[in-house]
Structure 1
């Protein structure tokens, strides 16, 4: 039955003076800030320099934007008439998994340059990443984006009668039809992953890398399953996000099994390392000079 389907007027854009902003972008930013705030709280407890972490987060945000756009364009390359269209991110079109990949790779590069313990940091960030994704999905629900095919489930979304993409809805929506509201599914799944990560933090503390890998596997399984009820371009029967998620799950499971067989890994007693260790040879040379 569809009489109890969810129905509300999507808010696709908001006029702020001469500017027009989207709730999608607003909540994506809010989700990043919420996750970053809790992550900073954890790094402060370990006496890691705020300046170093904030610098890494800022660069990771830029890397996430680049990765989100790049992966989306690659997955929908046939929609673009020229390379100039690839950079028009203000017209919409980003990939969450691409953003996560770009952000993590950028953070790894920054951590390596600054001498930070990347594995320890991503373990700290793991639960807050899931929370940030959940917050970001609120924007997709507000604008009615990432909709799926028609459904008879009572919690589907009823498309407005005047459904116009970019004006009254965020993605194609047959007027009057009830469709899957996949952003809501992803929000609930992300909150469940967040709860699992919080509940298992104590047990995962002695196993380096397990928290980050567990989030990657759980969210990868979620996205692989979710995209079966999501309207998107498909290649060899799967969406671009499903292929990305499948790779993440395979690699994540393999690394989890390998690390688990190695047993618990003792953590360093001093986790304050926020700068590269000094070169003792250079110090000795300087003292002789």
Structure 2
């Protein structure tokens, strides 16, 4: 594998006859980091790390299933003609928004079952999810997917990107916009901001770290999605992720305002912190 002269081999290594893809390695690494960060933070706020791990054991597989269902639903014309491929998740085709929706519902169910504070658990998980998304986008980079429209090498060089990124954005002789990188960078910035904001006493109330995540991610995703060439479409004219981004952005603002107005006694995120 030569990072300077050609595209990156999507196969990380082989174990006997089993090929392990970089995509899987990257996603697994992102998930492990998210679990570590969330459990570490939860202990500071009086929630057992074991509870967070148990929740992840439910949320992760359900999120993957939700991400696949979401993708298949908006590509139904293809899958109704190829039903055997519906479960072939290894051939690509999952949607982050589908995973987030399924994961959010799972967290709600789990916290109610265990008697845990739903909004606080979301606040704990939010930055971890965002950095996991940032890392996960590099799996798209390795697979040369989730890219934007055609561009030139000169344009990519003017962005001061590393050579290995520029080279891997050349697909079948054509250079493409590295939208994976735009989203990854946006998520890293959001991750840092969330970590800073949630450590400020009497700034964000419970639930507002998670709502800040929704606002940040949906705002950036709306514009980045407009650059992509593989968007899921509604009625052949509306990009589904852009529409959902608008709905989530407005919804987060409404919920934020409603909770501040209706429940002014809600505790701040750092109320009850055991240690820093």
Where on the TM-score scale, by shorter chain, does this alignment land: which range?
0.7 to 0.9
Unmatched runs of 5 consecutive residues or more in structure 1: 1-5, 161-168, 273-289
Measured in 1, the distance between the counterparts of 2:260 and 2:5 equals: 46
- Residue in 1 aligned with 2:10? 12
* Greater C-alpha Rg: 1
Secondary structure, aligned partner of 1:10: coil
Q: CA, structure 1 residues 255+8, in 2 after alignment: closer, same or farther (shift >3 Å)?
A: farther
State the match for 2:144 in structure 1. Answer: 144
Query: Which residue of structure 1 aligns with residue 133 of structure 2?
Result: 133
Q: Does 1:199 align with 2:196?
A: yes
Secondary structure at the aligned position of 1:16 is classed as strand
The answer on whether the counterparts of 2:62 and 2:106 sit within 8 Å (CA) in structure 1 is: yes
What CA distance in whole angstroms lies between the structure 1 residues aligned with 2:233 and 2:102?
A: 22
Q: What RMSD in Å do the two structures reach over aligned CA positions?
A: 2.6
**Hey, what does 1:221 align to over in structure 2?**
219
CA distance in 1: counterparts of 2:59 and 2:273, whole angstroms: 22
| 1:50–1:82 Cα change, 3 Å | same
Identify the residue that residue 266 of structure 2 maps to in structure 1.
265
Q: Which residue of 2 aligns with 1:185?
A: 182
State how 1:229-244 maps to structure 2 within 5 Å. Answer: 229-232=227-230, 233-236=232-235, 237-244=237-244
What is the distance in 1 between the residues matched to 2:31 and 2:229? 26
Name the CA distance, whole Å, in 2 between partners of 1:264 and 1:24.
45
**Does structure 2 retain, via aligned residues, the 8 Å contact 1:126–1:211?**
yes
- Secondary structure at the residue paired with 2:266? coil
Structure 2 counterpart of 1:208, from 206, 209, 212: 206
TM-score normalised to structure 1 length: 0.79
1:38–1:11 CA distance, 2 compared to 1 (3 A): same
Determine the C-alpha separation between the residues in 2 that align with 1:93 and 1:204.
42
Q: 1:122, CA displacement in angstroms?
A: 0.7
The answer to whether the Cα contact below 8 Å between 1:144 and 1:181 also exists between their aligned partners in 2 is no
3-state SS of the aligned residue for 1:148? coil
> For the structure 1 residues 65 and 141, does the alpha-carbon distance in structure 2 shift closer, same or farther, using more than 3 Å as the test?
same
CA contact (8 A) 2:201 2:268 kept: no
Farther off after superposition, 253-262 or 105-114: 253-262
Matching of residue 36 in structure 1 with residue 35 in structure 2: yes
Q: How many residues align?
A: 256
Per-residue deviation, residues 26-60 of structure 1 (Å, max 9, x unmatched): 21121111111011001122342333221111100
Contact 1:13–1:22 (CA<8 Å) still a contact in 2? yes
Distance 1:119 1:204, change over 3 A: farther
- Aligned residue for 2:176, secondary structure, equals strand
1:58 equivalent in structure 2: 57
| Residue aligned with 2:205, SS | coil
Maintained 8 Å contact 2:44/2:273: no
